[in-house]
Amino acid sequence: MVITRRALVAAGAGVLVAGCGAAEPIPPDAELLGPVLASERALVDAYARVEGRLGRELAARARDHAERLARAGAGPASGPAAPGGDPVDAALALQRRSMRACVGAVGLVREPAGRALVAEVLTAGAQHAAILLARLGRDPLPTAFPDGRTA
């Protein structure tokens, strides 16, 4: 019996296909937007603890995002709890969680308006994280990933 390259390639392809399971269905937009909404609502409370004009302005922006996400049909989801400690550090930690929720949703949301809203919330979150880092006296762009990850 002679084994040809074609037979080896076919066998290899068969093994690869057999190892691939069925793709998981993408949840509905309401379910994808829910964690983003929950994070933005948690940010409203976290920013309210930040003293001064900065806290008021960032809380107002997070409130606006939350209202717009709710109007876009975001479903219910449990939000992250605000960590204790310094209010600015806590707000930064929540902002990074919010950005991770946005990254998880932005490519999957089907409705173009909802996808654009999540992208806007993500962009604003990166800006807010840089502002908070500067307030803490840290490098506002310590990594290419605004949610705090490193390569």
Q: Which of 45-59, 67-81, 107-121 has the lowest mean pLDDT?
A: 67-81
Largest alpha-carbon pair distance within the chain?
A: 81
The answer, yes or no, to whether residue 44 has pLDDT greater than 60, is yes
Within 8 A by CB and 6+ apart from 102, the residues are 36, 118, 119, 121, 122, 125
36 in Cβ contact with 72 (< 8 Å): no
pLDDT at 128: 95
Of 127 and 10, which is predicted with more confidence? Answer: 127
**C-alpha closest to that of 102 among 135, 127, 133:** 127
What is the spatial distance between Cα 133 and Cα 57, in angstroms, rounded to a whole number? 16
pLDDT of residue 82: 75
| Per-residue model confidence as pLDDT tens digits over 139-150 | 887 776 656 666
Q: Which domains does the chain have, with CATH numbers?
A: 26-135 (1.20.1260.10)
**For residue 13, what are its two tokens?**
């392809």
What's the mean pLDDT when you consider all of the chain? 84
* Cα angle, residue 55 at apex, residues 132 and 72 outer, rounded to 5°: 90
